[in-house]
Amino acid sequence: MDMRTTNLPYYQAAGQEIALFEHAWCKRLPVLIKGPTGVGKTRFVAYMAARLGLPLFTVACHDDLTAADLVGRHLIQDGQTVWSDGPLTRAVREGGICYLDEVVEARKDTTVVIHPLADHRRTLPIDRTGELLHAPDSFMLVVSYNPGYQNFLKGLKPSTRQRFVSLRFDFPDAEREEAILIGETGCDPMLARRLVALGNSMRSLNNVDLEEAASTRLLVYAAILIGDGMDPIEACRAALAESLTDDVEVSAALLELVTATFG
């Protein structure tokens, strides 16, 4: 039996993304995944790393993340200065996937190290040690971002985005989202159907002001709480209505949809 296929993380595909990713890996092209939060971008990358049998180095980017956080830095250990590789450097040295989640959040100096790795050069210059690393064939750079809540200034620069092949992720259609809830939580199909219908009614509320629509992740949370014996309305209050907004009125409007579904 092939252990690589038996230990795969659960991933419900939307279309051709698995084939595209495999082609990109074979041909050493970097991949950009864009889409709202909680719709399976990170799970997809974990699944692909396991499927291809590659180590995965994940970096959750934030607005203080610098090139040194990716590449590495000198540390003082027992009075000695020693070099410590960052996750990007480790992935380049050892081979595997380096996944930069929410890459637009990172400081602008990170583009200096991303660009030469993301084009035909496939190199990583380490200024502080004077090294120039050449990425092995198994190295792959994958980045993700959420175009929804980025402001104009934070969008990806064309010079960066045009180094990647791109995949768009979106909310799954009802049938696929039901399959995800069942596959992920083992909940019964009736509950999955109701939660997905609830999620879609929340997503289509256009008179309430939500920063982001209900994600598949939150529907998974609701299914988990209900599966553990919680009252469905209380579970959806906690997993959906209160997680989506701090506005008391908006939250009450969301809860009305919950009671219409489960009341």
186 with 124: CB under 8 angstroms?
no
Q: Does 51 bind ligand ADP (CB under 6 A)?
A: no
Strands (E), 147-224: 165-168
Which two three-digit tokens encode residue 243? 């997680």
Q: Does 38 bind ligand ADP (CB under 6 A)?
A: yes
What 3-state DSSP class applies to 23?
helix
151 with 215: CB under 8 angstroms?
no
What 3-state DSSP class applies to 143?
strand
Residue 59: phi and psi, rounded to 5, are -125, 120
Taking contact as CB under 6 A, which single stretch among the options 53-61, 86-94, 113-121, 215-223 is the one that binds ligand ADP?
Answer: 215-223
Q: Does 141 bind ligand ADP (CB under 6 A)?
A: no
Identity of the residue, 9 or 87, whose beta carbon is nearer to ligand ADP in the bound complex = 9
Please, what is the minimum distance in Å from the beta carbon of residue 81 to ligand ADP? Answer: 37
Q: Does 43 bind ligand ADP (CB under 6 A)?
A: yes
Directed axis angle between helix 216-227 and helix 189-203, to 10°? 140
Taking contact as CB under 6 A, which single stretch among the options 58-66, 76-84, 134-142, 212-220 is the one that binds ligand ADP?
Answer: 212-220
Identity of the residue, 11 or 21, whose beta carbon is nearer to ligand ADP in the bound complex = 11
For the chain, how are helix, strand and coil distributed in percent, rounded to 5? 50, 15, 35
Identity of the residue, 93 or 217, whose beta carbon is nearer to ligand ADP in the bound complex = 217
Please, what is the minimum distance in Å from the beta carbon of residue 236 to ligand ADP? Answer: 16
Residue 188: phi and psi, rounded to 5, are -80, 155
DSSP at 164:
S
Please, what is the minimum distance in Å from the beta carbon of residue 68 to ligand ADP? Answer: 25
Which residues in 153-182 contact ligand ADP (CB under 6 A)? Answer: 180
Taking contact as CB under 6 A, which single stretch among the options 40-48, 62-70, 74-82, 123-131 is the one that binds ligand ADP?
Answer: 40-48
Neighbours of 63 (CB within 10 A): 10
Among 31, 39, 187, 213, binds ligand ADP (CB under 6 A): 39
Contact positions toward ligand ADP, by CB under 6 A? Answer: 10-12, 37-43, 180, 184, 216-217, 220
